[in-house]
Amino acid sequence: MTKFKYRVFIPEFIADRIKFQTQEFEENDFLKARKSALTYLSKIISILVSEKIITVSDFKNEESSELIEIKDLKKSQENDKILDFAHLSECKIKFNYTEREFRKANELRTERKMGLKHTILLLGIVKLEIAHEKDNFVPVFELKNSDFPINQFVERTILNRMIPNAEVLNFSLLYSGFQFSIKEKHHQFREIFLTENNLREKELISNNLFFDFERKLLSIYNRRCMISFFIEEKYTASARKAMLHLQSVYGKLNYEYTPKVMIRNNFYTVYFFDFNAELKLIYSKTGNLYFRNSSGMKKADEQTTFEEIVCDENCKDELIKDLLHKL
């Protein structure tokens, strides 16, 4: 008879702090093993939140990009002892490391010749794992934010291999299709769109007029700042073709493409352009220094500040702003 084995993996430094260890759960019925493992994992995560070893944050509301800390984690509708892991995967996860843990991470980084960020993540990742037929454990959930989360069908695939001729396996998925990084973009775009009198940060396409589209795209070329291009869903396909045509004429623009952003019951495709990373300093043959800001090219003089050159009024990085003011 096939045995199904799940494991809740708790990194050493977390186990030392909460006095709970990595634990395995084995049953003849995979649903029983899974339920026991998820119950234990939910208990561990709840302790981590209550002890402030991790901080879980979600957005204040659907129209804001502001994050607020969550102290009472959302539970599964089927079982109030198990967390809603799909919702948790949409939240911001932050580990609050101590000085001792940073020192340990640095020692491990030197020993294994790894990057510091990767080492810290390795020390702090609580995982749910399943053993496949060779008894090797494979992660099916990791308590961290990632642009490339574990494929939510890994668990189902392994179980299908272990249960010959299995019928459709019905159980709650551990990941949402809408991870934090994606959710964050949608909230940011929604906030930009709904903020009044910020026309310097957004352009809206709500018709199929080619020359109107061309004028707005050329405006982006000239302003060369951070700006979001919102296109109503019914014009998305034709606007995409127009974008490709105009870029073949005027030159390629780098942008980030995000489809199906829901804003007050309407879908938009968003092209996000960010020129802040581009080189903005130009020296003329006569030795004059010019820099680009949101108004175009400007000549530097004795009164030009750090903020004007490095971080103009479109800069969103508060850390850089604060640093520049201190300088």
Q: Measure the CA–CA gap between 191 and 148, rounded to whole angstroms.
A: 25
pLDDT for the residue numbered 95? 85
Range of the domain at 302: 281-326
User: Residue 92 forms beta bridges with which residues?
Assistant: 57
Same domain, 30 and 162: yes
Same domain, 200 and 144: no
Same domain, 269 and 290: no
Same domain, 102 and 161: yes
Same domain, 94 and 54: yes
pLDDT tens across 66-121, in order?
A: 999 998 999 999 899 999 999 999 999 988 877 777 777 777 777 777 776 667 66
pLDDT for the residue numbered 197? 81
12 is a domain residue: yes
Nearest to 193 by CA among 257, 254, 267: 267
pLDDT for the residue numbered 326? 41
- Using the predicted structure, report yes or no on whether residue 229 has a pLDDT greater than 70: yes
Q: How many domains does the chain have?
A: 3
Same domain, 52 and 84: yes
- Using the predicted structure, report yes or no on whether residue 314 has a pLDDT greater than 60: no
Same domain, 106 and 211: no
Same domain, 139 and 222: no
190 is a domain residue: no
78 is a domain residue: yes
318 is a domain residue: yes
pLDDT tens across 190-223, in order?
A: 999 998 887 778 999 999 999 999 998 888 877 7
pLDDT for the residue numbered 316? 47
Same domain, 266 and 134: no
Q: Measure the CA–CA gap between 244 and 31, rounded to whole angstroms.
A: 50
* 3-class secondary structure per residue, the chain: CCCEEEEEECCHHHHHHHCCCCEEEEECCHHHHHHHHHHHHHHHHHHHHHCCCEEEEEECCCCCCCEEEECCCCECCCCCCCECHHHHCCCEEEECCCHHHHHHHHHHHHHHCCCHHHHHHHHHCCEEEEECCCCCEEEEEECCCCCCCCCCCHHHHHHHHHCCCCCCCCCCCCCCCCCHHHHHHHHHHHHHHHCCCCCCCEEEECCCCHHHHHHHHHHHHHHCCCEEEEEEHHHHHHHHHHHHHHHHHHCCCCCEEEEEEEECCEEEEEEEECCCCCCCEEECCCCCEEEEECCEEEECCCCCCHHHHHCCCCCCCHHHHHHHHHC
Report the half-sphere exposure of 299 (CA within 13 A, side-chain side).
5
- Per mean pLDDT, which range of 94-98, 256-260, 296-300 is the poorest? 296-300
263 is a domain residue: yes
Q: Where among 234, 256, 273 does a domain terminate? A: 273
Single-letter code of the amino acid located at 163: I
pLDDT for the residue numbered 310? 57
pLDDT tens across 129-188, in order?
A: 999 866 789 999 999 887 777 777 888 888 888 887 665 577 888 998 888 989 999 999
pLDDT tens across 10-38, in order?
A: 988 888 889 999 999 999 988 999 999 99
Same domain, 115 and 166: yes
| Other CB atoms within 10 Å distance of the CB of residue 91 | 21
Q: Which two tokens stand for residue 257?
A: 């493409």
- Using the predicted structure, report yes or no on whether residue 258 has a pLDDT greater than 80: yes
Q: Where among 176, 205, 235 does a domain terminate? A: 176
Q: Where among 115, 142, 176 does a domain terminate? A: 176
pTM: 0.75
